[in-house]
Structures are given as C-alpha cells and as structure tokens.
Structure 1
C-alpha cells in the first residue's frame, strides 16, 4: 500500500511529506538512515528534532551527522554533551557516549582530549567488560598518536584480555609490535587476526608487510597481490599495488 501511494504521488508530481516515526527509537533509526544517505540533510533533521525537545537520541544523531561530515570537534562536543546529560539522568548509555566522544577527538587529531573522554568512560559504574576492552583499544590508539608505545602496549594487552575475540585488537597489537621491531610477536598476533578476519584487506595487507619484514618476500608478494586484486578500490588495495610496483621497480634495472 505504501509503495502504491508513493507511485501515485509521483505520477501526480506531488511529493508526499515524509512520515514522522511515532517513537524516539523510530526517529533515531530514520535519522541514522538519513545520515547514510545525506549527512547534511541528517544534520538539519537532527537539529530540528533536538530543538523540538529531542533527548539523547537526538543528540546522538547530531553527532553521527557531524562525524559523517568529518566535523570531528563538533561531533565530539555533541557526544560529550550527551554523555553528561546521560550521567545526570543515571542513564546506562553514558559510557557509550563518552567512548563516541573519545573516538571523535581521536579522529580529529586530539589524543589528549580523547584520553580524557575515554578515562571518564572507564570510571563509570556499569560499563561492561566488552566496552572496557574497546576503551583500552582506543586508549592504545591515543597513546600511539602521542608517541608513547609503552603505554599503548599496556592498554592493548589489557584489551586482549577483555575482548580476545575482536580481530581489531590483534591487528593493532601486531601493528604495534611491528613498530617496536618485535617481529615474532607481530607474526603471532597477525596470525590470530587472520583466523578471525581472513578476508579483511587491512589485516591481509599488514600480514604481507610483516612477512616481508620477517624475510619471507614470497609470502609478502602473495598477500599484496591478493589485496590488490580483490580490493583494488580500497586504501589497502592501493597500498598493496604501490608496494608491488615498488618491488618491480627495484628488480628492474634502469636502462643505460
């Protein structure tokens, strides 16, 4: 019936008004769908919703729209406001909002503000072990950004204890080990990541890089070629293709 009504409206060159979901959860779902389609439109919708008395879900959608537009400071600020509002209301979503704020600060290049938000999330009662693990992962990323690999390692090891089934933790642990020239640990940890996310192009790319650093150039080339062939339009695919081209340039002697 809805499709028929839309077709009739289109035939009559009349644009029907968008239905307004009756529940806050329905409005949130609709707003998030709009974020995926048009972040700028979603921002306008979410701001109107918030101005009309929308609560935490309205703030969250404003933050999602800002994040989709890569306006990280605005996104982080909105998430922090939502987190503070949730804390005042003893709402169990407060830790999640602090984590979202921390990730927005980190994406915006401010690891110090990210750590403040993430530490606040960890301090709250009711934070689940799973979310604690994700917070430690994000804290590790912030410490890497600050040039503090030792504290990054402490947080990654804690994350591995809390969320051992998250391939991203093993991936980041392998990447950090590679930065610290701990090739043995890098190989062990990337192998765990590949067990859980065998077809992830970033995991495959890092596995190739680690294989190359370990001296296994054949395996490195094999993995790079897989990433370049299967994911040519991804950042990982482009990086793999560039590495393969560099290797070919090195092997091909310049004409005299």
Structure 2
C-alpha cells in the first residue's frame, strides 16, 4: 500500500460523514426510547444488538434506559452514572442528563444517598437547571435534610413559580418543619394548578390534621 493510501486511511472522517453518523444514531436512539415505553424487553434486545456493534455512548444509553424500563432501577442507575463519567460520554449537557436520570433511578430504587451524590454532580454541571434542583430536593427529603431541601426548592420555584412538584415538595418540607402557614400557602398554589392531583389532596389532608393537632 502506498504512503498516500495509508495517509488517506487514517485521516478523520469529513464533518458531513460525522453528522450523518450522529443523525442515524439519534434516529436509532429515538426508536429505542419509544420501545422502552411500549416494549421494554424489545428495547433491551435492541440495545444488546447495538452494543455488539461497538458500544458507542448512544447504545449504552439505550441499554440503561431499557434496563430501567424493565424495573431494574439500581442497575440502570449505575449504568447511567458510569456513562456520565466515561471519556466518550459527550458534552456537559449530555453528562448532566445522564446524571439526573441516574439520580432519579437511584431514588426509585430506594437509594437516596446514591441519588444525592449523583444529583450533586449533576448540579455542578447544570447549576441553573430547576428540574435537577427539584430532583435533588427529593433525595434530601428522603434523607430528612429539610433545610437543604428548602434551598433547592426555593431556587427551583424562583425559576419556575408554577412547578407543581416543587410546590408539593416544599409544602411537605414546611409541614415537616411545622411551618404550617408556609405549608398551606404552597398547598393552595398547588391546588390552583391542579385541584384534582392525588398527591396534593393527600397533602391537604395531612396539613389539616397537623393544624387540628396544633389547635389552629
């Protein structure tokens, strides 16, 4: 083989070729995500086939999502966290997504300490993301770290004042701290957003009972 042929062979792909590959991977990943919702086992089988073709980040992401969709939250969380820390994980935005989803999976699996570590790392990357702050507050609440949870929820609600989950969580946190007026204020805002939400209605009952016991 000539030196010219060898040189051509080791040149990086053109930008258009790279774009085509990324576009095809995104289409395949979108299909995997759809499958996780409709047929998690089929999504898992697809992820295994994809991993067999080289194990690129999108394939590993597909695999982790399929594992979570099948109910193995602990394993899926670990794989997402591993992907987020891999050298080929992508940009900071990608890593923040993997970490946030890993944190939620850890929470669902019942591992709030692991979730908090992961979500702390997600916040370091995406400090201004209110949804990640809400997720981290959930982990703190499971660990009964009420005041730190309030800090995250206050931040999130400054960004998105009508975030129902954040209002519910902050109301619950104030209830745990016996700040009944603040708990009721957030509850009333949550009721205005969705007066039929089951979690909000349960919270209303808990606040009413707390006020009754307090003689209010």
Q: Do Structure 1 and Structure 2 share a fold, with TM-score over 0.5?
A: yes
Please state whether the residue corresponding to 1:61 is helix, strand or coil.
helix
2:132 pairs, out of 135, 149, 162, with 135
* 1:144 alignment partner, one of 136, 141, 146: 141
Indicate how the Cα distance of structure 1 residues 58 and 195 shifts in structure 2: closer, same or farther if over 3 A, else same. Answer: farther
Shift of 1:208: 3.3
The answer as to 2:47 corresponding to 1:50 is no
What corresponds to 1:95 in structure 2?
A: 96
Q: Distance in 2 between matches of 1:66 and 1:158?
A: 32
Q: Deviations over 1:236-255 (max 9, x none)?
A: xxxxxxxxxxxxxxxxxxxx
Quick one: distance in 2 between partners of 1:86 and 1:100?
18
- Per the TM alignment, residue 91 of structure 1 is displaced from its structure 2 partner at its CA by 5.1
What is the alpha-carbon root mean square deviation over aligned residues?
2.2
1:3-82 aligned at under 5 Å gives the runs 23-53=24-54, 55-82=56-83
1:98 shift after superposition: 0.9
- Determine the C-alpha separation between the residues in 2 that align with 1:86 and 1:103: 23
The runs of 5 or more residues in structure 1 that have no matched partner are: 1-21, 216-256
TM-score for the superposition, normalised by structure 2: 0.77
Change (3 A) 1:65 1:133: same
Pick which of 182-191 and 50-59 moved more: 50-59
2:191 is the alignment partner of 1:194: yes
- Using the alignment, how far apart are the partners of 1:27 and 1:75 within structure 2? 19
Question: CA-to-partner distance for each residue in 1:191-249, whole Å, 9 max, x for gaps?
Answer: 1112222332222332233234334xxxxxxxxxxxxxxxxxxxxxxxxxxxxxxxxxx
Once residues 172 and 45 of structure 2 are traced to their aligned partners in structure 1, the CA distance between those partners, rounded to angstroms, is 39
C-alpha distance in 2 between matches for 1:137 and 1:87: 28
For the residues of structure 2 that align with 1:59 and 1:199, how far apart are their CA atoms?
39
Q: Which residue of 2 aligns with 1:173?
A: 170
Distance 2:40 2:91 in 1: 30
Tell whether the 8 Å contact from 1:114 to 1:142 is kept in structure 2 after alignment. yes
* 1:203 alignment counterpart: 200
TM-score (normalizing by structure 1): 0.66
Structure of higher RCO (CA pairs closer than 8 Å, 6+ residues apart): 2
Structure 2, gaps ≥5 residues long: 1-22
Distance 1:146 1:205, change over 3 A: closer
1:112 aligns with 2:109: no
Instruction: State the Cα deviation string for residues 144-196 of structure 1 (Å, max 9, x = none).
Output: 22222222222222222233231110011111122222221111001111222
Aligned residues: 190
